[in-house]
Amino acid sequence: MQEIVIPSHICIAGVDEVGRGPLAGPVLTAAVILDPMRPIHGLADSKKLTEKQRERLAELIKENALAWALGRAEAEEIDNINILRATLLAMRRAVEGLVMQPQVVYVDGNRCPELSLPCVAVVKGDAKVAAISAASIIAKVTRDHEMQALDRHFPGYGFAKHKGYGTAQHLAALHTLGVCEIHRRSFEPVKSMLNSVVTE
């Protein structure tokens, strides 16, 4: 896939999210402004990297980027405003958390959050724009760590393994243990399970 070349004199932030699809946990976003004088080799879509590669690159990004910040929306917010709006809100929070202001924001996907800055949506941007790739890695590593921590608070669901996605293991645990506080109540099959409890 052809990488988008952005002139080095333009200060851009790349933004990406992780966690739109899971049944539990936050949707987490990152915004990254890379330093053109300190390029990071090996950046790619976080889904195409191994866990070990992501961990190594995340540290390099944090050490070498001009700025990076995280944004998030919790399960309750997702249920209240829907996953799309929650994702865009989390993206805005990440951009607003940067210690320096970029000239342009490049966002993975086909929708831009509401920002006071120019914003460009790039479909499959995590494979085309280095700063978006960096953001995808930071977001993925951070959320994975959080889900591993939540696994200790809510044992039995397997959050450390599936990170909240609707795997067979997770669905089986839901039927056995019921819904916990970090589950998204507007997502199926969580919604139907809660409704069946109410009607019984």
Identify whether 56 is part of a domain: yes
Say what the pLDDT of residue 46 is. 86
| The residue to which tokens 């919604």 are assigned | 191
**pTM for the model:** 0.93
Identify whether 83 is part of a domain: yes
What confidence tens digit (pLDDT) does each residue in 2-45 have? 677 677 778 999 999 999 999 999 999 999 999 999 999 999 88
Say what the pLDDT of residue 1 is. 52
* Whether residue 200 has pLDDT greater than 50: no
Identify whether 6 is part of a domain: no
For residue 175, give Cα distances in angstroms to 57, 185, 186, 197: 37, 14, 17, 12
For residues 102-116, average pLDDT: 96
Identify whether 150 is part of a domain: yes
Q: What is the chain's Cα-based Rg?
A: 18
If one counts the domains in the chain, the total is: 1
40 alpha-carbon distance from chain centroid? 20
Output the six-digit token pair for 46.
């976080």
Identify whether 172 is part of a domain: yes
Identify whether 169 is part of a domain: yes
The CATH number of the domain holding residue 142 is 3.30.420.10
Identify whether 3 is part of a domain: no
| Contact present, 48 and 192 (Cβ < 8 Å) | no
Which residues constitute the domain of residue 148? Answer: 12-199
Quote the strand ranges of the chain, DSSP E.
Answer: 12-18, 27-33, 67-73, 104-108, 119-122
Output the six-digit token pair for 59.
């540290």
Output the six-digit token pair for 165.
């996605």
In what order do the strands lie in the sheet containing 27-33?
Answer: 67-73, 27-33, 12-18, 104-108, 119-122
Identify whether 2 is part of a domain: no
